[in-house]
Amino acid sequence: MFYAPLPSKARLYRFKKNQVTVFSENEGLPNAFIKKILEDRDGNIWVAAGQFEEGGLVKFENGKLRAFKKEDGFNGVGVLDLTEDREGGIWAAVSGTGLTRINRGFITSFTGEKSGLSSDNIYPLYEDAEGIIWSGAWRSGKELNGGIDRFENGFFKQFAGEKEITSLSPTSLFKDREGNLWIGAYAGLTKYKDGKFTRYTKETGFQPEHISAITQTRDGTLWFGAFQGLTRLRDNQFTEFTTADGLPHNDTRNLYEARDGTLWIATIGGLGSYKDGIFIKYPEFPPIQVRSIYEDTDGNLWFGSYDAGVFRLRNGEFKAITTKDGLFDQGAFQILEDDFGRFWISSNRGIYRVNRQQLNDFADGKIQTVTSVAYGVKDGMVDAECNGGRSPAGFKSRKDGTLWFPTQKGIVVINPKLLPTVSEPPNVVIENCLIDGKETPCDAIKILPENDSLEIKYTGLSFNKPEQIQFKYKIEGLDENWVEAGTRRRAYFTHLPPGEYSFRVSAANIDGIWNETGANLKISIKSPFYRTFWFLSLGILACIGILILIYSRHIKSLERGRAAQEEFSRKLIESQESQHKRIASELHDSLGQDLLIIKNWALIGLRNGADSSKQLAEISETASAAIDEVREIAYNLRPFHLDELGLKKAVESMLERIAKSSTTQFVWEIDSIDGFFPRELEINFYRIVQECLNNIVKHSAASEAGVKIRRSDDKSLTLLVWDNGKGFDTDLMALKRASQSAFGLAGINERARILGGKIVINSTPDEGTTVKLTFG
């Protein structure tokens, strides 16, 4: 228990286990009235010492009083009051300057001469097996210089500089198992042990310059990664390897031996590995600059890049994680894991942390995004820009688990154990609502049919990195899942369907704790007239009426088609019967009579006895006539030329016969058409030509007529039949479907359909007729 009286000089008394400890000005207590004593949630004691021109803020920690000064970021003197907010922040009412919020500090920076660094621009930062911390400093100016610094008793002290190292810009540090400290630099390699520096140059057998990475594998072999390739030191002999030996790129920036003995090689052109004397390149890994390599306790390998995010390797499969997946930055110069399963990653824009389990869950497809938290100048870094591309670019201390990172302005040390955690989720507030860009009260939104858009602005209330609060929202009744909005603080909707909805928005603090209640907003969207019940009912009735009309017309069309089909079938049967009648008549009247005459002449010859020459001559002549009649009947049933000579010869033969027996002058041009139609369908084409010619002879009274058959290829054939006769009215002919002539045209149409052809008939009274059929 602390107690503060009001003496002439400030005193602070602590009562603990019946003992009293007095703190005064000698122990760091300001000589001012003590206004308030506050114990925070972690048990720390804060003291407000306040007057208008004197006083200050004091914290009791580690058994001592600590007074906050300007270098701590505290501006002010007299502190009049103290309080703690729900997120663990301490608020001080400071005389003359107003309110100040003090966050729990977990980031420490070492900069400049006050820290003992040779320069603020740090690249390699290394802790050896003995717990000694080494840093490589660069300094630019009129004269380049730099050096190696060693951390002792809370300060850095220059260990080696221009005279001891081969370059003014150290690029890598490593201590081997024999206790040799290896220093890589822009101009070569240096070894230090027992007060002696040994330089390795081209004269001593070491060729590379710009050494960026050094490591030692479990077999004792030393490896050096340089701009010119990879060098191995074994049995006091250097061996060089380049892309010709299997490296993905010569410029090597990091080396790491995994637990299975594989040496992983990070280059500016991709990732490689070496095991059992074999170099391996990974074509599935992008040709990017790899800067960091880390192996976690589960054996997963993590690779950080310059500007392409982080990659996980598990079971031979790489998975990329980038800013679009939730990372703060594409850069990953160094990956360090604290004792709580969190990755801390350095980049050009600061240091960010992300939960390792989240990264694994994302890589395994269990979640869609990860949450990363960034830290920079506001959190205690002098400069947010970290350095990388040299090895090592930071480390986790073996002693206390702190994380050390090199930056452009000194060294940053993060103590994850002091990281403030916020168990309270942020409150969510809907700030503003706009309909078609015009503000409207956010109590209950009503959107009319003429409105197009709705915009809702919201925010989360938190003092702990409010800019990194994560949001999600959805419209209940419309959205099944939440919309992940990230840090975006607005939702925009257009053309929402009519109905009653509720807009919900939730927020999470940087530790991923969500406000499950969030904020709600009722939204009512009115239907336009064409979506009202009565309009939809009328529309449905109208659609039903139209469908009934279409259906009835379709039925009538089917009935007309069926009637036409029945009429065609009837005409086809009549035609067949007529053909049978004609054949029967010809057989009876012509062939029957000839056979009867032959019979009679044969009887007469029998009666006359010897003199029968006249009767035999008559028999021969009549028999010849009968044979001709049989051939004519058979030809009309199926022309023998079609089977024996082919389609072209059959058509030409038909044209010759008709031309000889008709007063019409016929001309024709016929290409080779044999084989165009299947053999069993050629009779259909023959009958089409025959029907066209019969119509000319019987009905046209033409003086001239012609047939032209053109075959352009195996897939195209055109038939053109024309005459200069009396023609006919095609519209009138379409109405005479019951007539025989009309049935002849129907037969042509049907045979053309069977052959897959299209027919066009052009005819005008007294101007002739043209029939054109195209096939293919």
pTM over 0.75: no
CA angle 168, 171, 172 (to 5 degrees): 130
Fold for 642-776, please state it: Heat Shock Protein 90 (3.30.565)
Supply the pLDDT for residue 22: 73
pLDDT in the model for residue 745? 75
Please write the tens of the pLDDT for every residue from 295-339.
999 999 999 999 999 999 999 999 999 999 999 999 999 999 999
Helix (H, G, I), strand (E, B) or coil at 11: coil
Largest CA distance in the chain: 184
- Sole residue written with tokens 């500016």: 268
- Report strand pairing: 45-50 vs 34-39: antiparallel
The CATH homologous superfamily to which domain 427-526 belongs is: Immunoglobulins (2.60.40.10)
SS (H, E, C) 351-389: EEEEEHHHHHHHHCCCCCCCCEEEECHHHCCCCCCECCC
Q: At 239, phi and psi to the nearest 5?
A: -130, 130
Kindly write down the DSSP assignment for every residue of 632-693, as one continuous string: HHHHHHS-HHHHHT-HHHHHHHHHHHHHHT-SSEEEEEE---TTSS-GGGHHHHHHHHHHHH
> Rounded to an integer, what distance in angstroms lies between the CA atom of residue 699 and that of residue 717?
27
- For the chain, count helices (H), then strands (E): 10, 52
Provide the residue type at 3 as one letter. Answer: Y
SS3 42: coil
Helix (H) or strand (E) holding 267: strand 263-267
* All residues at 6 or more sequence positions from 155 whose CB lies less than 8 Å from its CB, including other chains: 115, 116
What residue ranges do the domains of the chain occupy? 2-102, 190-418, 427-526, 532-637, 642-776
Sequence-separated (6 or more) residues with CB below 8 Å from residue 183 = 136, 148, 160, 165, 166, 170, 172, 173, 189, 190, 191, 192
Distance CA 357, CA 369 (A): 12
Residue 752 is which amino acid? A
Please write the tens of the pLDDT for every residue from 273-285.
Answer: 999 999 999 999 9
Strand partners, 192: 181, 197
Category of 756 on φ-ψ map: left (φ > 0), alpha (ψ -120 to 50) or beta:
left
Q: What number does CATH give the domain 190-418? A: 2.130.10.10
Kind plus residue range of the DSSP H or E element containing 554: helix 533-586
The low-confidence residues of the chain, meaning pLDDT below 50, are 5-8, 142-144, 573, 577, 737-742
